[in-house]
């Protein structure tokens, strides 16, 4: 019999610190789906039924029958996530049933329309202005194929579709234009590790710019993509394609993700990938907040990663007291 103590140990390994309900039947943790969508929060809004493994986030509404599946989709602790999924797998259920149940057919709203064709339409004037304020010109709106919809759940959002090399929709990101919205992102429900965002536009034989989120791409060069979060590992399709093609990369992640940046650089470097790291942490801005000239400057001055640079980073962190 699997004890509650063991379940909680695995939940902590996957999601971090938890909070038990008064009756100890449920645990609440920070939602990894929210974090993946760019929502910075420390609130424990993902509720987990410790007996059944059923989960539900009260913010982004992600929910399912096995919290281990959620962990596999969003967290980096693969072994713990697999054990958690195994614990909550129902009797006589085939191993892949939960994975298939968790997947939904990726499709854009039926009334999806490209916004660059609608600049003079009053209904979408706020959407258009939101994108202009975020640095998207009309040509960039066309380049990113940004769209809008009046379908329930999408009417107050801008939608960024992504296509694979075969021109099939493989993901989409939708962002609320309401600054007061607590549910900023509504994205395709699929495993991010199986997605290469904007794959149709990428040339893996050329240097590739990697950012965290879609808005970081606004002023980046053509051969750029985002990792849809702050982590990528050898489990990810994008990582595998980079290694397969020996694609040189420049990591342009947010300044507050320096530790993860170094870990990713180390992992890519171990596969003989030429890695550079942007030094834009000195100006305190994310790529999405920069002008095109600033972006070009920090890309052109990116420093090549090697073991010496990692050692220098670790020494600096020791001096600052950030690591032990």
The 10 Å CB-count burial string (b at 16+, else e) for 178-198 is eeeeeebbbbbebbbbebbbb
If asked whether residues 153 and 270 sit together in one domain, one would say: no
Extended beta strands in the chain, E state: 19-20, 26-29, 46-49, 55-57, 63-64, 113-114, 147-148, 157-163, 169-176, 208-211, 224-226, 249-251, 275-277, 303-304
If asked whether residues 323 and 195 sit together in one domain, one would say: yes
Domain count, the chain: 3
Task: Identify the domain boundary among 102, 118, 136.
Answer: 102
Task: Identify the domain boundary among 154, 189, 224.
Answer: 189
CA distance 119 to 59: 32
If asked whether residues 153 and 138 sit together in one domain, one would say: yes
Domain span at residue 258 reads: 191-324
CA-closest candidate to residue 195, choices 182, 214, 176, 180: 214
If asked whether residues 55 and 139 sit together in one domain, one would say: no
CA distance 191 to 6: 26
If asked whether residues 215 and 322 sit together in one domain, one would say: yes
40-64 tens-digit pLDDT: 678 898 999 999 999 998 887 788 8
Residue 11, by phi and psi: left (phi above 0), alpha (psi -120 to 50) or beta?
alpha
pLDDT confidence of residue 92 = 56
Q: pLDDT band at 100, cuts 50/70/90?
A: very low
pTM of the model: 0.67
Per 3-state DSSP, the chain is made up of helix, strand and coil in percentages (nearest 5) of 40, 15, 45
If asked whether residues 58 and 175 sit together in one domain, one would say: no
pLDDT confidence of residue 103 = 44
177-216 tens-digit pLDDT: 998 888 899 999 888 899 999 999 999 999 999 999 999 9
Torsion of CA 271, 275, 281, 287, to 10 degrees: -100
Residue recorded with tokens 């599946």: 69
Task: Identify the domain boundary among 73, 102, 131.
Answer: 102
CA distance 274 to 208: 11
Asked whether residue 29 carries a pLDDT value surpassing 50, the answer given is yes
CA distance 274 to 305: 8
**CATH number of the domain bearing residue 216:** 3.40.1360.10
If asked whether residues 306 and 250 sit together in one domain, one would say: yes
If asked whether residues 298 and 231 sit together in one domain, one would say: yes
Structure tokens at 173: 């990101």
pLDDT confidence of residue 93 = 56
């Amino acid at each position: 019999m699997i004890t509650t103590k063991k379940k909680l140990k695995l939940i902590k390994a996957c999601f971090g610190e938890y909070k038990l309900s008064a009756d100890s039947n449920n645990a609440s943790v920070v939602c990894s789906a929210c974090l993946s969508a760019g929502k910075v929060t420390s609130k424990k809004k993902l509720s987990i039924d410790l007996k059944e493994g059923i989960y539900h986030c009260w913010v982004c509404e992600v929910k399912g029958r096995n919290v281990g599946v959620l962990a596999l989709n969003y967290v980096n602790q693969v072994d713990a996530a697999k054990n958690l999924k195994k614990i909550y797998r129902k009797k006589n259920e085939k191993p892949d049933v939960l994975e298939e149940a968790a997947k939904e057919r990726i499709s854009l709203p039926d009334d999806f329309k490209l916004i660059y064709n609608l600049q003079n339409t009053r209904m979408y004037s706020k959407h258009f202005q939101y994108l202009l304020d975020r640095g998207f010109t009309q040509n960039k709106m066309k380049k990113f194929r940004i769209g809008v919809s009046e379908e329930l759940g999408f009417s107050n959002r801008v939608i960024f579709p992504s296509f694979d090399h075969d021109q099939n929709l493989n993901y989409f990101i939708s962002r609320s234009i309401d600054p007061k919205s607590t549910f900023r992102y509504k994205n395709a429900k699929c495993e991010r590790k199986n997605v290469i965002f904007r794959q149709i536009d990428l040339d893996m034989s050329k240097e590739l710019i990697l950012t965290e989120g879609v808005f970081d791409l606004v002023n980046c060069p053509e051969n750029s993509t985002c990792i849809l979060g702050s982590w990528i590992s050898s489990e990810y399709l994008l990582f595998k394609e980079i290694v397969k093609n020996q694609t040189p990369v420049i990591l342009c992640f947010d300044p507050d993700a320096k530790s993860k940046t170094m870990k990713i650089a180390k992992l890519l470097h171990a596969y003989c990938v030429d890695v550079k790291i942007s030094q834009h942490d000195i100006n305190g801005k994310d790529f999405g907040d920069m002008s095109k000239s600033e972006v070009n400057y920090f890309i052109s001055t990116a420093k090549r990663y090697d073991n010496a640079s990692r050692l220098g980073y670790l020494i600096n962190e020791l001096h600052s007291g950030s690591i032990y």
